[in-house]
Structures are given as structure tokens and as C-alpha cells.
């Protein structure tokens, strides 16, 4: 019987001083005897690298890392076809801790790098780990263009409303009046709303989760991974050193139900500890009402295919007296950038075979003696 075909291992690829792992045992072709070769199922531990995780004790980043590692085995992906890209910041240590390929770039440039990776090899599964400073300040321009182009990749934006790595300056998402080392008498900036920003860039998948709600986060990550196009997830993440308690109203057991509304496609927006409050629309303006005071058909039902409704819901987290929505704001389909790029290349090749020498010598040329 001939030897079983084997997948060649990828060349070593360094990321932040570490070498990417060998490939997992992917499905192998059948032998001449038509024997199926079993595939070894991966676990969360298989996606954990050998690097010491170095975040401050109690940081919400630990939870995000754990949920990603726990979710990856369910996504039917291989480690050697998965790439995590990051810029600069606490969140951007992520590639070091994932037992996949990775790229630790410079400040704010993770979206551009990830776009290039996906364009060069559309078969790769690409993830971006970024933060509110890295992705929305110096990297805001790159994030905008990545979202509008709709590459088939996934973005995890850790939002702790502070610059943690540089020791506590205000960030683009810090609330108005925030007192920090760089704003000792309070920030006068208007804070950026990440889901609203992503929707304004016409992203095709926009969601929000919280570091403390591990089950919810896993569900959102799975939905994002299944989406064809750029998926953008804002994750509220507590920085217990420089901005501790920023999301207490949304995480503490006794009060969170009165401050959160969980979005489920096709279901009414009802919230409150006793499920006695609801959202209705007065034109395009949301209102909080008592469930007992309105007919059931007037209660707003979530529609994740409606971009206008998504914008209304995303804005609610900035409005006093309204609950903060978590879940999927929007999930719609649109052609991906790399699909159209590959098609253009295919058409160009069918027309003619390129001749680089002829191209370089075409048009006006001259010789310099």
C-alpha cells in the first residue's frame, strides 16, 4: 500500500520572538484502499501558546483570550491557516498568546496589515485584536477603510475607555469630563461610539459583548466567525488598574438587568430585573415604557438586517435613561473585497499573459549615459 499523503509543514514564521506552531492534523485524502484517516479534534489548549500571559492580574483581557481559545475549536479552522494581527496596546499582545500564526505590527496599522494578509491569501482565517486607542485613534483611518472594503476577516475591539499600556491617559471612547493624567481637569472631547462608527463605515456585521459575560461573548464570536465579510465586535473590557469599574452597571448582578438589553433577531426588546420594561419607537426615536402600559405589538422587535434600526440601537448606549444594547446590531451580506480582487485578476489573466519587460519599456522611455 502506498504511503499516506502528508501535508507539508509551513516554514517557521516568527511572531514577537516566538515561532508559529506546526500544523494540526487536517483531513487527509483517502488512500488507494479508500480508508478514511481520522482527524484529531482540537481543544482550547491547542490554541494556547507557550508564552506567559502578561496582563495585570484581574484584567478583562484574560477573559477575552479565554473565550477566543475556547471558541476556536468549534469554528472548524486549522491553526496553520489562522492568523492573528495586532497593533500596539494591551490588547495587541494577543498574537503572542494564540498558538497560530501572528503579526505584531505598529500602532494603529493592524487593519491595514490584516487587509494585506487577506488580499494576498484569501484562504486564511484572519483576526484583528485591537483597542479603543489603537483602532479608533491613530488607527481610525485604517479601521474605516478595512470596514468599508468588507474583507472577510474578524475584528475584536477591546474597549476599556482608557489608554492602559501608557498608564492611564484618556482615549477616544472616554466619557466627557473624564479626569486622567492627560486631562487633569476633565476631557472636553466628545466620546466615540464604536458600533455607531462601524455602522457609519457601512460594516456588514456589528456586535457588542462584555468581558464578564463569557457565554454571550462566545456566542457572538461564533456568529462573527460565520459571517462572510468584515465582522466588528466591540467588547467592553474592564481595566482594573486605570479605569476600574467603568462598566459596573452592566456587570453587577443586582443592577445589570436594569441597564442591559440583549439583542436577539426577531425578539422584542424587553429588559429589567422583572422583565417589565421595553423599548418602543416614536417615529425614529426610541422610548422606554412599562410593558404593562403598551400592547405587545407596539414593543420594538429587533431586526439585525435593518441598518437604520441598528444605528438607533447603537446610539442608545449614549442616551441617559436607556439600557445599553449587547448582541448583534447588524448582520447583512455584501461581496467581499478579496472575492472581487481575485475575479479581476482572473479576467486580466484570461485576456493576455503579462510581459514585465514589455511593460517597463512601453510609452516614453529614454536612455541615460
Q: DSSP characters for 36-103?
A: PPPPPPP-GGGGB-SSPP-S-TT-THHHHHHHHHHHGGGGT--GGGEEEEE-SSSGGGHHHHBSSEEE
In this structure, are residues 239 and 245 in contact, taking their beta carbons and an 8 Å threshold?
Answer: no
CA distance 118 to 125: 8
pLDDT given for residue 366 in this prediction: 79
Q: Is 345 inside any structural domain?
A: no
CATH number at 155 reads: 3.40.50.970
CA distance 162 to 91: 12
pLDDT in tens, 193-208: 999 999 999 999 999 9
CA distance 290 to 211: 29
Residues, the chain, total?
369
What count of other Cβ atoms lies within 10 Å of the Cβ of residue 264?
A: 13
Q: Is 46 inside any structural domain?
A: yes
Q: Which of 65, 121, 124 is nearest to 95 (CA)?
A: 65
CA distance 153 to 83: 10
pLDDT given for residue 340 in this prediction: 96
Q: Is 327 inside any structural domain?
A: no
pLDDT given for residue 33 in this prediction: 57
Longest dimension (CA), the chain: 90
Confidence of residue 22 (pLDDT cuts 50, 70, 90): very low
Q: Is 302 inside any structural domain?
A: no
Q: Is 157 inside any structural domain?
A: yes
Q: Rounded mean pLDDT of 283-308?
A: 97
Q: Rounded mean pLDDT of 99-105?
A: 97
Number of structural domains (the chain) is 1
What percentage of the chain exceeds 70 in pLDDT? 89
Provide the whole-model pTM. 0.86
CA distance 208 to 328: 7
Q: What is the mean pLDDT of the chain?
A: 90
Domain that holds residue 21: 14-246+335-339
What percentage of the chain exceeds 90 in pLDDT? 81
Q: Is the pLDDT of residue 9 over 50?
A: no
Amino acid at each position: 500500500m502506498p504511503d499516506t499523503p502528508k501535508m507539508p509543514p509551513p516554514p517557521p514564521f516568527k511572531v514577537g520572538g516566538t515561532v508559529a506552531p506546526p500544523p494540526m492534523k487536517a483531513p487527509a485524502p483517502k488512500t488507494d484502499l479508500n480508508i478514511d484517516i481520522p482527524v484529531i479534534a482540537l481543544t482550547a489548549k491547542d490554541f494556547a501558546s507557550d508564552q506567559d500571559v502578561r496582563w495585570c492580574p484581574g484584567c478583562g483581557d484574560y477573559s477575552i483570550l479565554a473565550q477566543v481559545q475556547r471558541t476556536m475549536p468549534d469554528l472548524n479552522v486549522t491553526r496553520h491557516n489562522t492568523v492573528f494581527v495586532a497593533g500596539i496596546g494591551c490588547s495587541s499582545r494577543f498574537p503572542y498568546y494564540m498558538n497560530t500564526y501572528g503579526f505584531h505590527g505598529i500602532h494603529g496599522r493592524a487593519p491595514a496589515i490584516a487587509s494585506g494578509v487577506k488580499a494576498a491569501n484569501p484562504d486564511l482565517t484572519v483576526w484583528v485584536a485591537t483597542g479603543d486607542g489603537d483602532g479608533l485613534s491613530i488607527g481610525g483611518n485604517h479601521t474605516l477603510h478595512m470596514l468599508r472594503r468588507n474583507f472577510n476577516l474578524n475584528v475584536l475591539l477591546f474597549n476599556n475607555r482608557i489608554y492602559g499600556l501608557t498608564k492611564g491617559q484618556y482615549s477616544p471612547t472616554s466619557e466627557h469630563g473624564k479626569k486622567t493624567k492627560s486631562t487633569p481637569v476633565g476631557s472636553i472631547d466628545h466620546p466615540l461610539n464604536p458600533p455607531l462608527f462601524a455602522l457609519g463605515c457601512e460594516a456588514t456585521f456589528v456586535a457588542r459583548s462584555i468581558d464578564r459575560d463569557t457565554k454571550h461573548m462566545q456566542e457572538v464570536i461564533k456568529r462573527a466567525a460565520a459571517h462572510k465579510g468584515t465582522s466588528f465586535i466591540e467588547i467592553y473590557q474592564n481595566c482594573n488598574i486605570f479605569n476600574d469599574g467603568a462598566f459596573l452597571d452592566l456587570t453587577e448582578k443586582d443592577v445589570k438587568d436594569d441597564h442591559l438589553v440583549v439583542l436577539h433577531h426577531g425578539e422584542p426588546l424587553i429588559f429589567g430585573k422583572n422583565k417589565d420594561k421595553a423599548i418602543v419607537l416614536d417615529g425614529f426615536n426610541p422610548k422606554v415604557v412599562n410593558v404593562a402600559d403598551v400592547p405587545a405589538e407596539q414593543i420594538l422587535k429587533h431586526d439585525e438586517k435593518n441598518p437604520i434600526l441598528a444605528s438607533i440601537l447603537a446610539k442608545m448606549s449614549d442616551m441617559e435613561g436607556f439600557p445599553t444594547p449587547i448582541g448583534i446590531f447588524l448582520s447583512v451580506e455584501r461581496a467581499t473585497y478579496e472575492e472581487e480582487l481575485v475575479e479581476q485578476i482572473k479576467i486580466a489573466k484570461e485576456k493576455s499573459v503579462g510581459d514585465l519587460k514589455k511593460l517597463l519599456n512601453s510609452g516614453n522611455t529614454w536612455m541615460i549615459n
